[in-house]
Structure 1
């Protein structure tokens, strides 16, 4: 979780595109970046979330400075939102995720690896959900730690897990690894995307172990196909 205030200068200066590598498995090794994970296209998924049936009791901000405009929407088997992407670099200290690189760094995540350690934001694709509040309680929608998420940006699909919780009034945050895989600047201080990111969270799903990205891709592809069939 990272409770923070972004300066307008930092927000306006956020770079949108960068070359990246994609973590392949729990060991944190990397493979070349890919435009597509799984067999379901970004276009097919986006076609199913082009309208919103709001399930949240209000809307979220994307940053402290913005107004609340982002609803959580419901679909058969999933919830989704369309927002920006701030970079979460919390959890285990690594080369690019530490106090020196991230002004808001915290050495823990809401959900932990199978060995009890915090998640590793630099190598594990995960997203941040808002902490439970009167606006929305994620657990009441069948969302849990380790749940599978399809993150879509610039016609790319990246499968991630629910890995951390954030401020109660802000939405739109994902790990360093998620951003890098999608071609978004992953710098925790200045990176991110101002808009254009879609997050589709599959209800009642859970990757085991949570740190296995390959397991998230396998399960995510299955759930994405089911999502297309049922909506």
Structure 2
């Protein structure tokens, strides 16, 4: 054990000497990058937003944010994820609850495209989830490695909430998330009056899936790992 400790110390000393030999600007760059790549804590909204400033469009066209709006929202591709920037309309569909029912939401539907592990609809009041557009000529989410239960990072006003893909919506409209997502982001979650007109970023991680889909804790744990990987690889 002592020999191994000495070898490790010698190697560490050599690495420190190598860094010291670099020009000041190179040493500063090494110091600024290393903590971001090795940190185990949550990834900040600023770190994620810094990786989605431009757009390499992968959709065949653009989405509307509602039926009357112009089509202005492309789906963009990055290493390990897809993303778009839109509004956030409140979805209360799924299991009937105190906050989500036919009285509180005139557009209420008692089902979601993806179900809990007990085959019941998801709870929009309790579970942060996002809605993806149904497959169509603009884009098919499955072709990008996205499925029910995939992890999404939803960002608004420098706050990040991890959610799952929980429902599908119209094939030409995007920008929807559950009551619980809006509430976690600090928005008014009321289906009639809440949401946000703009400024919401949705990052969906390719090939990811939460088990069980209704476990928000699992989504947060996986989301943190995928977010760190996303920042490091883009």
Q: Give yes or no for the alignment of 1:185 onto 2:182.
A: no
Deviation at 1:191, TM superposition (A): 1.1
* Aligned counterpart, 2:156: 153
* Aligned counterpart, 1:195: 198
Partners of 2:130 and 2:79 in 1: how far apart?
Answer: 21
Partners of 1:228 and 1:183 in 2: how far apart?
Answer: 24
Q: Give yes or no for the alignment of 1:226 onto 2:229.
A: yes
Out of 103, 110, 115, the residue aligned to residue 113 of structure 2 is 110
* Aligned counterpart, 1:95: 98
Specify every segment of 5 or more residues in structure 1 that has no aligned partner in the other structure, as ranges: 1-37
* Aligned counterpart, 2:86: 83
Partner deviation per Cα, 1:83-142 (whole Å, 9 max, x = no partner): 000000000000010000001000000000000000000000000000000000000000
Partners of 1:192 and 1:50 in 2: how far apart?
Answer: 23
SS of structure 2 residue aligned to 1:162: strand
TM-score, reference length from structure 1: 0.83
TM-score, reference length from structure 2: 0.82
Deviation at 1:65, TM superposition (A): 1.2
Higher relative contact order (CA 8 A, sep 6+): 1
SS of structure 1 residue aligned to 2:48: helix
Deviation at 1:72, TM superposition (A): 0.2
SS of structure 2 residue aligned to 1:199: strand
Partners of 1:128 and 1:189 in 2: how far apart?
Answer: 17
Q: Give yes or no for the alignment of 1:71 onto 2:86.
A: no
Q: 1:31-50 maps to which residues of 2 (within 5 A)? A: 39-50=42-53
Deviation at 1:52, TM superposition (A): 0.2
Deviation at 1:190, TM superposition (A): 1.7
Partner deviation per Cα, 1:53-88 (whole Å, 9 max, x = no partner): 000000000011110000000000000000000000
Say which one has the larger Rg: 2
Partners of 1:124 and 1:109 in 2: how far apart?
Answer: 12
Partners of 1:191 and 1:81 in 2: how far apart?
Answer: 20
Deviation at 1:189, TM superposition (A): 1.4
Counting matched residue pairs gives 194
Q: Give yes or no for the alignment of 1:211 onto 2:223.
A: no
Specify every segment of 5 or more residues in structure 2 that has no aligned partner in the other structure, as ranges: 1-40
Partners of 1:216 and 1:187 in 2: how far apart?
Answer: 24
* Aligned counterpart, 2:20: none
How large is the Cα RMSD of the aligned pairs?
A: 0.6
Deviation at 1:228, TM superposition (A): 0.7
